[in-house]
Amino acid sequence: MKITVWNEFVHEKTDERVRAIYPDGMHACIAKFLTEAGYDVKTATLEMPEHGLTDEVLAETDVLFWWGHMRHEKVDDAIVQKVYDRVMQGMGLVVLHSGHASKIFRKLMGTNSDCLKWRESNDTEIMWVTSPNHPIVEGLGDHIVIPHEETYGEHFIIPEPDELVFISWFTGGEVFRSGCCFKRGNGRIFYFKPGHESFPIYHHPDVQKVLINAAKWACPVNRETFRYGHFPVRPVDELNIQ
């Protein structure tokens, strides 16, 4: 499986506290544990030509991870369209944390960027598993505790998820649908809420386990490039009709 981890990579360069947690960027941290899990992982960032998402990179990517926050609007619409087209063909997409407001997530969901409540108050987040037989929670217990995390609260304006894997509760009282599966075209999309830049969320072993599982779940089983549109009649013997 080939994974590309995309990060806008701004906080880590502009905020000392974030750099202390992710000295090489969040994408490097995520790529490291995915690589250790046996996947073939590349990284890409906003500042690279074509944001690191060239036709070649996208064509080879089975699952794309996406972390963005400050620079959603700097992402080129043409690249967003290419990512969208790849999802339609079958590429998996894992959208992390503030990626709910990214152009690609909004385009796939039909939502806008102002679609949830948030607060940075170091609440504890408890993620309750709502689908204990789902491949994304394989190897986990019935909940994950994240000692300090940004609070996100309902309501969260998204289409009804095809499958809900986690609901989070925060010590401030809010709840949030924090692990949501969607299918768009031939592609599988997982939205995963944790990942605020000021906390070491992607160092958390259970968070890593979820993302390793999510990559496996989102990976297409059929990598052919599907053709649509007009099809000529095929000779009956090609269809193996008995």
Q: Which residue is nearest to Zn ion (CB)?
A: 196
Which string of x and - marks every residue 53-92 that binds Zn ion (by CB under 5 A)? ----------------------------------------
Q: What are phi and psi of 87, to 5 degrees?
A: -65, -45
Cα 240 vs. chain centroid, distance in angstroms? Answer: 40
Q: Of the ranges 34-42, 82-90, 97-105, 208-216, which one interacts with Zn ion (CB under 5 A)?
A: 97-105
Closest approach of Zn ion to the CB of residue 86, in Å? 26
Chain centroid to Cα 115, Å, comes to 17
Candidate ranges 12-20, 139-147, 166-174, 190-198; the one touching Zn ion (CB under 5 A): 190-198
Asked whether 51 and 77 are in contact (CB, 8 A), the reply is no
Single out the residue of 27, 188, 193, 196 in contact with Zn ion (rule: CB under 5 A).
196
Site for Zn ion contains 174 (CB under 5 A)? no
Tokens 């992607």 sit at which residue? Answer: 202
**Which range of residues in 22-30, 95-103, 124-132, 202-210 is near Zn ion by CB under 5 A?**
95-103
Three-class SS string for 18-77?
HHHHCCCCHHHHHHHHHHHCCCEEEEEECCCHHHHCCHHHHHHCCEEEEECCCCHHHCCH
Least distance (Å) between residue 203 CB and Zn ion = 16
Query: Which lies closer to Zn ion via its Cβ, residue 98 or residue 168?
Result: 98
Q: Name which position in 150, 167, 201, 219 contacts Zn ion (CB under 5 A).
A: 150
Longest dimension (CA), the chain: 69
Closer residue to Zn ion (CB): 193 or 209: 193
Q: Is 190:95 a contact under the CB 8 Å cutoff?
A: yes
- Between the CA of residue 136 and those of 41, 81, 88, 90, 218, what are the distances in Å? 19, 27, 21, 18, 9
Name the amino acid, one letter, at 211: L
Residue corresponding to tokens 């152009």: 103
Range in contact with Zn ion (rule: CB under 5 A) among 18-26, 143-151, 169-177, 181-189 = 143-151
Q: Which residues bind Zn ion (CB under 5 A)?
A: 98, 150, 196
